[in-house]
Amino acid sequence: MNGNLTIGKAMRWWEKVTHPNMREVESAQDLAYSLLNAGDKLVVVDFFSPGCGGCRALHPKIAQFAERNPDVLFLQVNYEKHKSMCYSLHVHVLPFFRFYRGAQGRVSSFSCTNATIKKFKDALAKHSPDRCSLGPARGLEEAELLALAANRDLEFTYNEKPTLVPIAEAIQMEAASIGGPWMPLPAAATQPLTLGSENGSLIPSGR
């Protein structure tokens, strides 16, 4: 029994090399909150599987990138533990990575191996923390949030954001409503104005 436990512990290769800015995601809600609370920080979401040889071979290099970039947050999603969540997020190939950055939301999405690690390196350099992203963190796409909320296998709640009406349209709707705060303007006042030629005064163009 003890031997089996020892072997099981040794198989957890993704826990062998970690850094303070690397952690495993516990749930879909955890992933969504982590992205929203990351502020302007670049977040790399690493989808892996314990039985994926490519994931295991690539992990030491990902850990090196994490060590060299302490301002970047690396979130690991275990496919075997979160298959239903991965399905809702349309992750069907491993290893797979998604990069998120502040108000921009998802900025990159790709699969790579040791042979194509340049993809990862280039994405990390392109979206590095020294480039400012203004506004609150966007996190997951709304379509992804809706898919997670609709997934009955997950305990995930999402309150849809209210639809924003453009200010000009809102004013027009308010003015046109019964008992609106504004009276219609006189016809003359709504005519285009042109500059008079004699004394520079503004006169209605209809005169």
- At 59, which helix (H) or strand (E)? helix 53-68
Q: Which of 2-16, 20-34, 173-187 has the lowest mean pLDDT?
A: 173-187
Q: Catalytic annotation on 55?
A: yes
Residues 6+ away with beta carbon under 8 Å from 89: 140, 144, 147, 148
Domain boundaries, the chain: 22-150
Beta strands at 193-195 and 105-111: parallel, antiparallel or unpaired: unpaired
Average pLDDT of the residues in 15-20:
86
pLDDT digits (tens, 9 = 90+) for 83-137: 999 999 999 999 999 999 999 999 999 999 999 999 999 999 998 766 566 678 8
State whether residue 150 is helix, strand or coil. Answer: helix
Do the Cβ atoms of 88 and 116 come closer than 8 Å? no
Cis peptide before 192 (omega within 30 of 0): no
Structure tokens at 85: 């969540």
Q: Catalytic annotation on 86?
A: no
What is the model's pLDDT at position 128?
A: 79
CA separation for the pair 144, 117 (Å, rounded): 27
Structure tokens at 4: 């089996």
What is the per-residue DSSP string for 4-41? HHHHHHHT-GGGTS--TTEEE--SHHHHHHHHHTTTT-
Do the Cβ atoms of 203 and 192 come closer than 8 Å? no
DSSP 8-state assignment for residue 177: S
Candidate list 52, 86, 112, 132, residue with the active-site label: 52
- Full-prediction pTM beyond 0.75? no
Do the Cβ atoms of 147 and 88 come closer than 8 Å? yes
CA separation for the pair 66, 74 (Å, rounded): 7
**Would you place residue 179 in the very low, low, confident or very high pLDDT band (cuts 50, 70, 90)?**
low
Do the Cβ atoms of 85 and 75 come closer than 8 Å? no
Q: Which of 24, 20, 102, 16 is nearest to 59 (CA)?
A: 16
> Does 5 have pLDDT greater than 50?
no
CA separation for the pair 106, 187 (Å, rounded): 51
| Options 3.40.50.150, 1.10.390.10, 3.90.1150.10, 3.40.30.10; CATH of 22-150 | 3.40.30.10
> Does 61 have pLDDT greater than 90?
yes
Do the Cβ atoms of 28 and 152 come closer than 8 Å? no
